[in-house]
A = this chain, B = another copy of it.
Amino acid sequence: MKDNTLNGRDLIGIADLTKDELTFLLDRAEHLREQVARERRLTLLRGYLLTTLFYEPSTRTRLSFEAAMHRLGGQVLSVADARATSSAAKGESIADAARTVAGYADVIVQRHPAIGSAQEAADAVDIPVINAGDGAGEHPTQALLDLYTIRQEQGSLEGRAVALVGDLKHGRTVHSLARALAHWQATLILVSPAALAMEPATVAQLRAAGLSVEETDDLGQAVRRADVLYVTRIQRERFDDPAEYERLKGAYVVDRALLTQGQPHLTVMHPLPRVDEIAPEVDTLPNAAYFRQAANGVWVRMALLASVVG
């Protein structure tokens, strides 16, 4: 492992991390996972306090960070829904709330529906702030766990063909992952209905960053080509016409019949929660990595917390 250059730093967007730092975190995650298998609870962050400050609820992300902190030997102060508090209702700024919490804790993990809110908190305090989602902005630890999962399932990140499926227009998850994959010369296969296609400007940026990008609306073709199939939800609220939603939703369902067209080593991922876009019959295939992917969140968050704190 390289040296830790992350001590004391914030993590707002995935682009804050160099390729070396990403690799450092993925290696450290692997190492911590093995250590937990042997020792269950480590002592790296003994005596340290994490505050999870969630202005909108996200059980999955919050629990994953809290599990990571506990496994590192630390303690947690939990705010599952800060909207409900009188202070936010009284008009307290994100900066003031962060400054106050910084008096109680050693690191803040914040989720807030507004783009830029994580940076606002980070600018206000001296302790590290980790962005656990700022609306349509970034969610860098999701990209980290996605990278970890691809590496784990495929053996390497180098040159993989990753098909991104579903809503590629609004999904911050796929944008962050795509940007990070540029470090490893990936091929992206973008699969979406025209109305939910990735913005041309974003595609151009990804190409400029060194990615080979193909676009298609044919899911079967993508499955035949891909090493990784990364499926996301198509959300009803994006459509004016409910009939159009129903038609498109049906066209992007991953089931066993579809996967028989794929390569044997195909890895199926999903940021979860999944609704109908992956059929339950897929869950028992060895290719179905989405629950392992969710569990991997603990290891990468342990690596991140252990690296920025202490």
Chain A interfacial positions (CB closer than 8 Å to B): 39-41, 46-49, 51, 56-60, 63-64, 66-67, 70-71, 75, 77-82, 84-87, 90-92, 96-97, 99-105, 233, 272-275, 291-292, 294-298
Contacts and interface: CB of A to CB of B under 8 A. Distances in A.
Contacts of A96: 272-274
Nearest to A95: B280
B57 A86 contact: yes
Given A96-B272, A101-B63, A105-B67, A47 B39 contact: yes
Nearest to A56: B86
A57 B97 CA distance: 15
Contact of A100 (B70, B102, B291): B291
A104 B59 contact: no
A51 B63 contact: yes
A120 to B, nearest CB: 12
A95 to B, nearest CB: 8
14 contacts: A40-B48, A41-B75, A59-B79, A59-B87, A60-B100, A63-B77, A67-B104, A70-B77, A78-B78, A90-B273, A91-B275, A99-B294, A102-B291, A104-B297
Interface centre among A75, A77, A100 (most CB of B within 10 A): A100
B291 A103 contact: yes
Contacts of A274: 92, 96
Nearest to A46: B41
A49 B67 contact: yes
A239 B176 CA distance: 48
A84 B57 contact: yes
A298 B104 contact: yes
A233 B86 CA distance: 13
A237 to B, nearest CB: 11
Contacts of A294: 99-100, 103
Contacts of A47: 39-41
A84 B81 contact: yes
A99 B40 CA distance: 20
Contact of A67 (B39, B77, B92): B77
